[in-house]
Structure 1
């Protein structure tokens, strides 16, 4: 029976098939042991394509604009230094006066008589000391007596000077050349020490004050030209005359003063003015505002491509903007700016720039 099964064509075919399978399996197994498996082909990573354009920096004249106030070059409130009654006005509002000019007169109130008394007492004390000094040379007077007489003479001199000053102060004088801007008294008014009498201002030269942000103060220089614009459109020229050394604690801005000549005596003191100071030129690029973006820290900037075709983000500062674009600083002098596709890449990514022209 077994011989019949072996001799049947079907069994012969099955046996041959099994032998063939075993031979193929043994061959593959041997080949796997003798040869390393073929390396699988790794697909080459395709770089992200971005559109870029080259931009070259151009110098831009930066102007610092601030709101300021026009002030008189000097302004002083002349106050009474002696009590009395106003008996005469020697000037009126709007009058131009010279330094040392008498402005008004107060009542004497006995001051002239006190001056004469102090003068006579001073003469007496001087004569007494002169006589004592002659006696002292003959040893008829002690050193103590001479010292006492010298002390009395010094006291008499002080009283005379005080009386002289009181007489002078009943006629207040202008401390500098200026204009009587306000008069606070009339003839017959009784004033006390410290009562305001007149307001004297010097306006042939003016002073403009303003505050400059701390990031721009380093670009300022004493003596540089400053353009001033009044509210009515008139323009004046001045020079930067003072820059404070410490910023205001509240605003972190620096106080400045601008000196302005005013030979025409324009009535502009106390008004507002726009201050325009030209700073040193800076290198800027003009770009579309659509190219601006924020990094992870919230800094406004522009995405660019460097020489190694990697994305670099530069923070920028917008200096001005118009219908031609935004003028920014902070970029290199020559830079390849990503114009399309910046939203699909991040800083450090290697990209394939297209459509570039150096």
Structure 2
């Protein structure tokens, strides 16, 4: 093995080690100065914390707000709903023989919607009525048989009594007495048979009456009419179409009055009362008023809300079924402050509120609840009667910080 390449490799490795790990010492050696004698740079000293009392106070703008009593409305989202809506269906089978009414037309209660072909139903009714007449004719005959049997029984009882008295005096034979007793039992059996015949005749009458009523009902079902005043939401069944029991004839809706339906959170349900005045702003821009006519006693199991219905007059049928509405239901008045929307903020726990200036110009946080939303601000509750609310700079301070407030005019 040649020593020169090996020594060369060791020399190169030593130079690389010095260049990488002992660079400062190598530079100092090259300059003729020992690395250990070079003055070390002064280590940076940590900055002294500025005492809180000497920090400059943050400037904020404060609104001096005075609480006022407002009509605190319960605001909901909802939709309009027809007062009544029904699918009128056939209850029997038959072909439609009437001209169809077209959707959008007004119908009054009792107006014809569909007329079905009677077929042989008239003949069935005549047959049922004939059977009823025949059943009624059997009643007098049954009654006559019963009367005859009763007369025979009376005669047999008289003969039996006379034979019994003669037998006791020894003037008639014992066989005669037995014959009279047998005659009485035969007359009693005849009466039972006559009564059964009369009951069968009466049962036949009732069966015939039921058959007549069924035939008349079947004929009545051929005429399908509107159940109430309203509008046709669909075309009536077409002429010639075959209707089965359950087939749709037409759909009728009633829009006057109309209902506005919303859902009240369980935290607000106690503020809604039956008969309360309510206002609904429709998506079309129209505003309508009405009264609360229904408030559910059972909460929806999924949303934990309670259904509320507001009845609104709709004489011109301008309000349609299914329109989106913003509902405001009048409730008992409450003290509230009107603040700009930008004044609201969140604390570290995510609670909605405002930051206020407390005595000593110290910042505090007060949770609030929004009572009403208007174009120029929010009405909020949860603050004292008078409050200094920070409206500019509230996001740059926290509770306990000292601020330098600039006050706005008092809210009027």
Give the structure-2-normalised TM-score.
0.62
Change (3 A) 1:322 1:66: closer
Alignment of 1:139-288 (within 5 A): 139=150, 142-266=194-318, 268-286=320-338
Change (3 A) 1:331 1:237: same
**Deviating more after overlay: 75-84 vs 319-328:** 319-328
Alignment of 1:256-335 (within 5 A): 256-266=308-318, 268-286=320-338, 298-301=350-353, 314-320=366-372, 327-334=379-386
SS at match of 2:262: strand
C-alpha contact (below 8 Å) 2:118/2:219 kept by paired residues: yes
* Offset from partner CA, 1:92-126 (integer Å, 9 cap, x none): 43443332233221111211111111122122223
C-alpha contact (below 8 Å) 2:101/2:235 kept by paired residues: no
Equivalent residues, number: 308
Alpha-carbon distance between aligned partners in 2 of 1:230 and 1:338, rounded to the nearest angstrom: 36
C-alpha contact (below 8 Å) 2:70/2:335 kept by paired residues: yes
**Deviating more after overlay: 64-73 vs 105-114:** 64-73
* Offset from partner CA, 1:174-195 (integer Å, 9 cap, x none): 2222233312421111121111
Equivalent of residue 93 in structure 1, options 99, 103, 108: 103
Structure 2: give runs of 5+ residues left out of the alignment. 1-52, 151-190, 408-412
C-alpha contact (below 8 Å) 2:355/2:389 kept by paired residues: yes
Alpha-carbon distance between aligned partners in 2 of 1:299 and 1:196, rounded to the nearest angstrom: 55
Does residue 1:58 correspond to 2:113, yes or no?
no
Alpha-carbon distance between aligned partners in 2 of 1:120 and 1:287, rounded to the nearest angstrom: 86
Does residue 1:67 correspond to 2:122, yes or no?
no
Alpha-carbon distance between aligned partners in 2 of 1:76 and 1:322, rounded to the nearest angstrom: 40
Equivalent of residue 113 in structure 2, options 98, 103, 107: 103
* Aligned CA-pair RMSD: 3.9
**Deviating more after overlay: 80-89 vs 324-333:** 324-333
Alpha-carbon distance between aligned partners in 1 of 2:348 and 2:332, rounded to the nearest angstrom: 32
SS at match of 1:285: strand
Alpha-carbon distance between aligned partners in 2 of 1:290 and 1:65, rounded to the nearest angstrom: 21
**Deviating more after overlay: 79-88 vs 326-335:** 326-335
Alpha-carbon distance between aligned partners in 2 of 1:225 and 1:192, rounded to the nearest angstrom: 47
Shift of 1:337: 6.9
Does residue 1:117 correspond to 2:122, yes or no?
no
Change (3 A) 1:184 1:88: closer
Change (3 A) 1:294 1:109: same
* Offset from partner CA, 1:187-219 (integer Å, 9 cap, x none): 111121111011122222212212222222211
Alpha-carbon distance between aligned partners in 1 of 2:376 and 2:301, rounded to the nearest angstrom: 39
Give the structure-1-normalised TM-score.
0.71
SS at match of 2:97: strand
Change (3 A) 1:289 1:198: closer
Change (3 A) 1:326 1:182: closer
C-alpha contact (below 8 Å) 2:97/2:239 kept by paired residues: yes
C-alpha contact (below 8 Å) 1:91/1:103 kept by paired residues: yes
Shift of 1:301: 4.0
Higher strand residue share: 1
Alpha-carbon distance between aligned partners in 2 of 1:323 and 1:196, rounded to the nearest angstrom: 49
C-alpha contact (below 8 Å) 1:90/1:102 kept by paired residues: no
SS at match of 1:239: strand
| Aligned counterpart, 1:6 | none
SS at match of 2:234: strand
SS at match of 1:89: coil
| Aligned counterpart, 2:174 | none
